[in-house]
């Protein structure tokens, strides 16, 4: 019976899109490429408590990199290290995914890879031009597992 539940759960899981479980760009804590890691910023990073922090340039939908909270551990706030220098030094991979991808496809990709955060993009049509990809949020393995666990609870 438990197996049946897991199987039926997996079927529902298949219908849900990344768009529905992602964290919207407006709610993402990020740093600007040209900002400096002064005391105030480092304190804010610690206070927010996220393990990964996207970096954007000028506009929030222009994602240029990703920092891990441990990248900040050896920083001296008095050095006022530019975000850009840290980003280039660690050079963590960024992965992207379509907002229309199903969460079970995304789960499989996360399972195969090392990066458990993806930038979610939408395909936006433009008059007289090719459609563009626009970043609209982030999704992590945690967002997907949370969805799966919720469904199992509703199933009981």
Binding region for ligand ADP (CB under 6 A): 23, 27-29, 50-53, 138, 140, 142-143
The answer to whether the beta carbons of residues 19 and 100 sit under 8 Å apart is yes
Shortest distance (Å) from residue 45 CB to ligand ADP: 9
Sign of the dihedral defined by the CA atoms of residues 153, 154, 155, 156, in that order = positive
Smallest separation, CB 24 to ligand ADP (Å): 9
Nearer to ligand ADP, 68 or 134 (CB): 68
**Residue with nearest beta carbon to ligand ADP:** 140
Q: Which is nearer to ligand ADP, 138 or 148 (CB)?
A: 138
Q: What is the DSSP string of 80-141?
A: -EEHHHHHHHH-----EEETTSBHHHHHHHHHHSS--EEEEEEEEEETTEEEEEEEEEEEEH
Rank residues 109 and 142 by Cβ distance to ligand ADP and give the closer one.
Answer: 142
- Nearest CB to ligand ADP, comparing residues 23 and 38: 23
Closest separation in Å from C-beta 36 to ligand ADP = 19
User: Minimum Å distance from CB 108 to ligand ADP?
Assistant: 17
Residue 81 or 117 with smaller CB distance to ligand ADP: 117
Closest separation in Å from C-beta 85 to ligand ADP: 20
Three-class secondary structure assignment of 33-67: CCCEECHHHHHHHHHHCCCEEEEEECEEEEEEEEE
């Amino acid at each position: 019976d438990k197996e049946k539940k897991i199987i039926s759960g997996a079927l529902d899981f298949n219908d849900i899109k990344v768009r529905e479980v992602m964290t919207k760009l407006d709610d993402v804590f990020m740093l600007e490429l040209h900002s400096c890691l002064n005391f105030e910023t480092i304190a804010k990073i610690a206070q927010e408590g996220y393990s990964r922090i996207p970096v954007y340039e000028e506009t929030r939908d222009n994602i240029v990199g990703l920092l891990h909270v441990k990248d900040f551990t050896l920083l001296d706030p008095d050095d006022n290290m530019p975000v850009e220098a840290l980003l280039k030094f660690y050079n963590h991979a960024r992965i992207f995914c379509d907002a229309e991808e199903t969460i079970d496809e995304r789960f499989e990709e996360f399972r195969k890879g090392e990066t458990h955060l993806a930038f979610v993009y939408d395909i936006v049509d433009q008059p007289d031009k090719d459609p563009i990809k626009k970043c609209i949020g982030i999704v992590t393995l945690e967002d997907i597992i949370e969805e799966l666990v919720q469904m199992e609870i509703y199933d009981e």
